[in-house]
């Protein structure tokens, strides 16, 4: 097993309980506080880009001041299938999204701001599976926020220690496909009801 101690519930043979931190190829952390500009080719992914109903919307991103670029290592630039979690604020705390290159019409470089945590999974763990798990557990993430009512924050250490059941990779893919199929069915039903 990836983790010691009590497990939340039994999982099928071949699955393992892991912490989210173990599942990631880069350290789970927030972005930096940016300086904005009206010019430049690098966008800043802010909480508002991770919308409530319409997924990722990069038209809401602002441009990063060029002098800030040297403060970012290569791994801090967002890549396809990075999971984003809003980490501060009332009403958006814990909101989960998944960034796709197809969201980025201008093919601009993107960095997260200090209110967004990025999760980047290892190649043997499906980011879409982890996204589905986190999205399902979004109410739990919201409750994990610490601090006063107006200044709640979801700390990276809480996400690093979050327990997640990991099936074999092929099973992860089957789960992702099934979830996508069911969501398409739900969307079709909703469209027909209107």
pLDDT in tens, 20-62: 999 999 999 999 999 999 998 999 999 999 998 888 999 999 9
- CATH number (3.30.1330.20, 3.40.50.300, 3.30.1360.200, 3.90.220.20) of 16-193 reads 3.90.220.20
Domain assignments of the chain as residue spans, ordered by start: 16-193
Question: What pLDDT, on a 0 to 100 scale, did the predictor assign at position 149?
Answer: 65
User: pLDDT tens digits, residue range 110-162?
Assistant: 999 999 999 999 999 999 999 999 999 999 999 998 887 677 899 999 999 99
Beta strands at 42-45 and 62-64: parallel, antiparallel or unpaired: antiparallel
Say which residue, 165 or 106, is predicted with more confidence. 165
Going by C-alpha positions, the residue among 56, 2, 31, 42 that lies closest to residue 120 is 31
If you average pLDDT over residues 83-97, what whole number do you get? Answer: 91
pTM of the model: 0.91
Work out whether strand 116-119 and strand 29-30 pair parallel, antiparallel, or are unpaired: antiparallel
């Amino acid at each position: 097993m990836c983790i010691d101690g009590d497990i939340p519930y039994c999982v099928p043979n071949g699955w393992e309980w892991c912490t989210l931190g173990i599942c990631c190829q880069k350290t789970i952390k927030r972005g930096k506080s940016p300086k904005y500009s009206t010019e430049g080719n690098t966008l800043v992914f802010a909480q508002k880009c991770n919308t409530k109903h319409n997924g990722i919307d990069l038209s809401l991103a602002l441009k990063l001041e060029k002098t800030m670029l040297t403060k970012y290592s290569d791994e801090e630039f967002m890549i396809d299938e990075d999971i984003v979690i809003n980490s501060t604020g009332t009403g958006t705390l814990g909101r989960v999204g998944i960034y796709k290159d197809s969201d980025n019409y201008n093919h601009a470089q993107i960095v997260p701001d200090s209110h967004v945590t990025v999760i980047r999974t290892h190649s043997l763990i499906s980011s879409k599976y982890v996204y589905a798990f986190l999205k399902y557990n979004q109410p739990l993430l919201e409750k994990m926020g610490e601090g006063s009512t107006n200044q709640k924050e979801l700390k990276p250490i809480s996400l690093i220690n979050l327990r997640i059941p990991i099936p074999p990779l092929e099973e992860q893919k089957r789960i992702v496909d099934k979830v996508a199929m069911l969501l398409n069915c739900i969307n079709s039903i909703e469209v027909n009801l209107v």
